[in-house]
Amino acid sequence: MENKGKILSRFTDSSLFALICNLLLVYAIMFVAHLEFLFENYSYFSGNLTFSHLCEMYVGSLRFDVSGILYVNILYIVLMLFPLHFKENKIYHIVCKWIFIVTNWIALLANLIDSVYFKYTMRRTTATVFSEFGNEDNMASIFGKEIVNHWYLLLLLIVLTFAMFKLYRKPKPERKNLVWWKYDISYLLFLAMAVYLSVVGVRGGFTRATRPITISNANQYVDHPIEAALVLNTPFSIIRTIGIPTFQNVDYYASEEELEKVFTPVHNPAKDKGFKQKNVVIFIVESFGREYIGAFNKDLEGGNYKGYTPFVDSLIEHSATFRYSYSNGRKSIDGMPSVLSSIPMFVEPFVLTPASMNRVSGIAGELGKKGYHTGFFHGAQNGSMGFQAFARSTGFDSYYGRDEYNADSRFGGDADFDGTWAIWDEPFMQFYCTTMSEMQQPFMTALFTASSHHPYNIPDKYKSVFPEGNLSIHKCIGYTDNALRKFFDSARKQSWYDNTIFVITADHTNETNHAEYQTDLGGFSVPIIIYEPGNDSIANRYDKIAQHIDIMPTILGMLGYDNSYLAFGCDLFATSVDDTYAVNYLNGIYQYVKYGYVLQFDGTNTKAVYSLDDILMQNNLVGKVDCQQQMENELKAIIQQYMSRMNEDRLTVE
């Protein structure tokens, strides 16, 4: 018994046992992070969540947790099992402890931050986050404000970090009793076994046929793509997307001819329509989700919902709108390519991929061929979000940012800076109007607004003017709506106003408090408003499906544009109700909206089909809808065209 006790004592004092205990501690902390993620974003999942399904997802999450924990702790594992006995000393294990604490603290911090960021993207953060915010110099102030707003997460971080310190197990080997060759050989075997198990854990399975799991594998445990965020963890999502090719060719169709018959993004307009040299003004309004607009939600809350956009409501009465309208992405950097170049977001934001170096078509470049003067306006620091680079690559002649605003002595300069992101919307829209009045006609311009953005501040003079609403963004929506009203008040006095087509849309949705706007599809619901002064013939709510990528071909169609061009969307006024569609991508799932249904496709199989009347997406009709195969065939053609053209630099007709 004494020998057995000594053997057990040596094992529990060993580096191997300490390693096992400390990795189990990380698993426990990861589980707490999963729970925090769920509680922080509960409203997005509560409609379809049952205890049994929650258990299914958390069991599935173990595969990704194992992989993420092994990625984060690989150095620590090697150091603890390194097969040299002389490492068994106090200083060495202090170093090991700090490596363990620091790496896992960073992983925990990433998970907690992502639980807050999720409501803006509806997915776990990937490696492109480093490119997305690489040019921003205001992240410290944003994090500071978020710490104040989410103080309880800071408290949780402190508690869990303290737990790592206190519960960390240090090995206690007795060096004087070590038989060095036994130790070295034993730990060599332990390290070899750990390497094997780590490879298995990182790949997500034991068999040779097992491919390394990726973020898309989370969909096998969920009923809705949005739920994949509950299965995944942020360290895994970031690490597994580093250096991974974004666009992978598919071969759903064997020949180009067969593919072209189903879908082609090449538009060949009629040559005899007669080109109208009308100005084009496009507003891409930050976070201006469809939920906030009363005119689109007359049945909401029993018909009592008013919304937060009285001006836009009044403009809609004289504009073309659509029964269903969607963004093609969930981020600002998704909105710009979709709206201005008719490029949807598949897999990752286009501007963060190598394909962004391709030759790209765009409404500015196409109209530039007709002699238009073009300008892009964004009140943030020049270069922010990569907008300036993308604007130039797609044919905009001029860029007007914070530098140009500050250089114009007629305006308030940096006194109008919001302190975080950009010039306040109201003064910058006046600058926008004034600058266009100095442009030679015809012109095409686009404005990307900023004030309805986190951290949701408005100028002091408006603090008590706009309704606070139920969400912190609501007062900002009211402020931006009023800024639009003042812009149009000024624009109506300009000579170019009556000869202009205006488009108002959002880059993406944002915080919501109605269940129908928190679903896989509802999270993409944005307004698409087309207003042409003096032309009430287009003023109607069309019973069609509209999306961001339709804006470019629709405007070119209204102008009678007669050159061939490339766009993944359609001309909404020239396309029948049954042929309008929308497509977007969420957590490894493609969503295709057409024929009164939304189809969810993982690249290989259709996972779900829902009626558009099923606004909470609760009744999966997969295998029960006659048009399912047709929808799948069309979606496959869109995906194949997209992937091949991205990889082969074929995003222009030339």
Given this model, what pLDDT does residue 175 score?
61
Given this model, what pLDDT does residue 209 score?
45
**Residue 441, helix vs strand vs coil:** coil
Name the pLDDT band for 195 (thresholds 50, 70, 90): confident
Give the tens place of pLDDT for each residue, 450-472: 999 888 999 999 988 999 999 99
| Alpha carbon distance 288, 467 (integer Å) | 16
Q: Are 234 and 114 in contact (CB under 8 A)?
A: yes
Helix/strand/coil percent split, the chain, to 5 = 50, 10, 35
Name the pLDDT band for 584 (thresholds 50, 70, 90): very high
Query: Quick check: 501 pLDDT over 50?
Result: yes
Given this model, what pLDDT does residue 316 score?
97
Q: What average pLDDT does the segment 276-286 reach?
A: 97
Name the pLDDT band for 178 (thresholds 50, 70, 90): low
| Alpha carbon distance 67, 73 (integer Å) | 10
Q: Which residue matches tokens 């049952």? A: 50
Of 141-155, 211-225, 514-528, which has the strongest mean pLDDT?
514-528
| Whole-angstrom Cα Rg for the chain | 28
| Alpha carbon distance 474, 469 (integer Å) | 6
Given this model, what pLDDT does residue 575 score?
96
Given this model, what pLDDT does residue 594 score?
98
Given this model, what pLDDT does residue 213 score?
77
| Alpha carbon distance 96, 80 (integer Å) | 7
Given this model, what pLDDT does residue 247 score?
85
Mean pLDDT for the chain? 90
Query: Quick check: 246 pLDDT over 80?
Result: no
Strand partners, 279: 500
Give the tens place of pLDDT for each residue, 108-141: 999 999 999 888 777 888 877 766 665 566 666 6
Query: Quick check: 281 pLDDT over 50?
Result: yes
Q: What average pLDDT does the segment 499-515 reach?
A: 95
More reliable by pLDDT, 186 or 275? 275
Give the tens place of pLDDT for each residue, 389-437: 889 889 999 999 999 999 999 999 999 999 888 999 999 999 999 999 9
Three-state SS annotation for 488-515: HHHHCCCCCHHHEEEEEEECCCCCCCCH
The pTM of this model reads 0.82
Q: Are 458 and 466 in contact (CB under 8 A)?
A: yes
Provide the percentage of residues in the chain whose pLDDT is more than 90.
Answer: 67
Name the pLDDT band for 82 (thresholds 50, 70, 90): confident
Query: Quick check: 345 pLDDT over 50?
Result: yes
Q: What average pLDDT does the segment 315-323 reach?
A: 97
Given this model, what pLDDT does residue 269 score?
92
More reliable by pLDDT, 283 or 246? 283
Length of the chain: 654
| Alpha carbon distance 276, 471 (integer Å) | 43
Provide the percentage of residues in the chain whose pLDDT is more than 70.
Answer: 93
Name the pLDDT band for 343 (thresholds 50, 70, 90): very high
Given this model, what pLDDT does residue 117 score?
86
Name the pLDDT band for 557 (thresholds 50, 70, 90): very high
Structure tokens at 185: 């050989």
| Alpha carbon distance 348, 333 (integer Å) | 10
Given this model, what pLDDT does residue 1 score?
46
| Alpha carbon distance 473, 290 (integer Å) | 13
Query: Quick check: 150 pLDDT over 50?
Result: yes
Name the pLDDT band for 244 (thresholds 50, 70, 90): low
Exposed e or buried b for every residue in 554-578, given b needs 16+ CB within 10 A?
Answer: bbbbbbbbeeebbbbbbbbbebeee
**Residue 529, helix vs strand vs coil:** strand
Residue 626: phi and psi, rounded to 5, are: -60, -35
Structure tokens at 534: 């003096």
Given this model, what pLDDT does residue 484 score?
98
| Alpha carbon distance 417, 150 (integer Å) | 25
Kindly list the structural domains of the chain, giving each domain's residue range(s) and its CATH number in brackets, ordered by start: 2-239 (no CATH), 285-579 (3.40.720.10)
| Alpha carbon distance 5, 602 (integer Å) | 54
